[in-house]
Amino acid sequence: MSKKIPLTGDQAVAYAMKQIEPDVVAAYPITPQTEIVMNFSSYVANGQISTELIPVESEHSAMSACVGAAAAGARTMTATSANGLALMWEIVYIAASTRLPIVMPVVNRALSGPINIHCDHSDTMGCRDSGWIQIYCENAQEVYENTILAIRIAEHKKILLPVMVCQDGFITSHAVEGVELFDDKKVKDFIGEYKIDNPLLDVDNPVTYGPLDLQDYYFEHKRQQGEAMKNALTVIPDVSKDFEKTFGTKYDFIEEYKLNDAEIAIVALSSTAGTVKFVVDELRAKGIKAGLLRPRIFRPFPKEKITKALKNIKAVAILDRSESFSAEGGPLYTDIKAALYDSGVKPLVSNYIYGLGGRDIFPADINKVYADLQDVVKAGKVKTALNYLGSRE
How does pLDDT run across 302-319, given as a tens digit for each residue?
999 999 999 999 999 999
How does pLDDT run across 62-100, given as a tens digit for each residue?
999 999 999 999 999 999 999 999 999 999 999 999 999
Are 204 and 291 members of one domain?
A: no
- Report, as an integer, the average pLDDT of 344-367: 97
Are 74 and 159 members of one domain?
A: yes
Are 343 and 376 members of one domain?
A: yes
If pLDDT is split at 50, 70 and 90, which confidence band does 393 have? confident
Number of domains in the chain: 2
Would you say residue 298 has pLDDT above 80?
yes
Are 269 and 375 members of one domain?
A: yes
How does pLDDT run across 2-50, given as a tens digit for each residue?
799 999 999 999 999 999 999 999 999 999 999 999 999 999 999 999 9
| Residue-number span of the structural domain to which 222 is assigned | 3-247
State pTM to two decimals. Answer: 0.98
Looking at residue 163, its pLDDT comes to 99
Looking at residue 1, its pLDDT comes to 63
Are 8 and 155 members of one domain?
A: yes
Residue 373 CB contacts under 8 Å (≥ 6 apart), including other chains? 264, 265, 266, 290, 315, 316, 317, 350
Asked if 329 contacts 323 with a C-beta cutoff of 8 angstroms, the reply is no
Would you say residue 148 has pLDDT above 70?
yes
Looking at residue 2, its pLDDT comes to 79
Looking at residue 288, its pLDDT comes to 98
Would you say residue 218 has pLDDT above 90?
yes
**DSSP bridge pairs for 106:** 80, 166
How does pLDDT run across 163-187, given as a tens digit for each residue?
999 999 999 999 999 999 999 999 9
Asked if 261 contacts 127 with a C-beta cutoff of 8 angstroms, the reply is no
Percent of the chain with pLDDT over 90: 98
Are 295 and 383 members of one domain?
A: yes
Are 167 and 64 members of one domain?
A: yes
Beta-strand ranges (E) seen in 15-118 are 24-27, 52-55, 76-77, 103-108
Where is average pLDDT lowest: 52-61, 101-110, 196-205, 365-374? Answer: 196-205
Of 90, 91, 93, 119, the residue nearest 106 (C-alpha) = 119
Are 48 and 74 members of one domain?
A: yes
- Report, as an integer, the average pLDDT of 124-132: 97
Would you say residue 206 has pLDDT above 80?
yes
Amino acid at 300: P
Distance (Å, whole) CA 109 – CA 358: 8
Looking at residue 46, its pLDDT comes to 98
- Report, as an integer, the average pLDDT of 183-211: 94
